[in-house]
Amino acid sequence: MFVYLFLIAAIATSSTPELPTTHDEKELQEIIAMLTTEVALEDATASEEALVTSSCAKATADRPITITNAISADMLKYKHWTGTYSPETFTVHIDGTEVAQGTQHTVPAETKTIDVMFTYSFMNGMRTGSKTVSYQLHENITQADITFSWKEDHKILVNNGTLLKVTV
């Protein structure tokens, strides 16, 4: 704002060495008023945008986090040289609560970490196992998906989280 006023004053004084006439003064005052209004509107718009942004961030931070068990039957197939096998039982627990395939589990917005445990059983219980994987959830998220891969060391994958530890 001050830059505009300075430029106007510099132009007014450099182009006419004598004092400005009342007509020039009116024009100069109108220009100053217009620039002042524009700057005030820009400041108000910036303030409103900052308020909306902070409100949206707060609303996102207050929302619970929805975690979806997105593990499909194809992900559970285990390929072995003798064939491809699927577990007879496969369960997933988030912080001790069982979450069936395709369903969702909600945790409070302030939740920082989750423990995801899975158990499986092949060949009528001849091959069984379980593993617990801890994830730190990313900040300001409202949803996360759990997937599975036999090729990964930790097996359970959370798309909006960072792996912390694996417990067998």
Measured in residues, the chain has a length of 168
Strands 65-69 and 143-148: parallel
Q: How far is CA 33 from the centre of its chain?
A: 43
Distance linking the first and last C-alpha atoms of the chain: 65
Q: What pLDDT does residue 155 have?
A: 93
Q: What pLDDT does residue 28 have?
A: 75
Q: Please give the average pLDDT of every successive group of 10 residues along the chain, which has 168 residues.
A: 57 55 72 72 66 54 87 91 92 93 92 93 90 93 93 92 89
Same domain? For 47 and 86 the reply is no
Domains in the chain, number:
2
Q: If phi over 0 gives left and psi between -120 and 50 gives alpha, with beta otherwise, what is residue 96?
A: left
> Where among 10, 45, 62 does a domain terminate?
62
Q: What pLDDT does residue 63 have?
A: 84
Same domain? For 80 and 115 the reply is yes
Same domain? For 18 and 81 the reply is no
Same domain? For 69 and 140 the reply is yes
> Where among 39, 62, 85 does a domain terminate?
62
Same domain? For 57 and 92 the reply is no
Q: What pLDDT does residue 35 have?
A: 72
Alpha-carbon distance of 143 to 29, in angstroms, equals: 55
Q: What pLDDT does residue 123 have?
A: 87
Same domain? For 56 and 78 the reply is no
Question: Tokens 């060391």 map to which residue?
Answer: 153
Same domain? For 86 and 50 the reply is no
Same domain? For 125 and 47 the reply is no
Q: What pLDDT does residue 107 have?
A: 92
Check if the beta carbon of residue 142 is closer than 8 Å to that of residue 57: no
Check if the beta carbon of residue 166 is closer than 8 Å to that of residue 133: yes
Cα dihedral across residues 152, 153, 157, 159: positive or negative = negative
Alpha-carbon distance of 21 to 50, in angstroms, equals: 43
Q: What pLDDT does residue 168 have?
A: 80
Same domain? For 39 and 76 the reply is no
Domain of 150 in residue numbering reads as 65-167
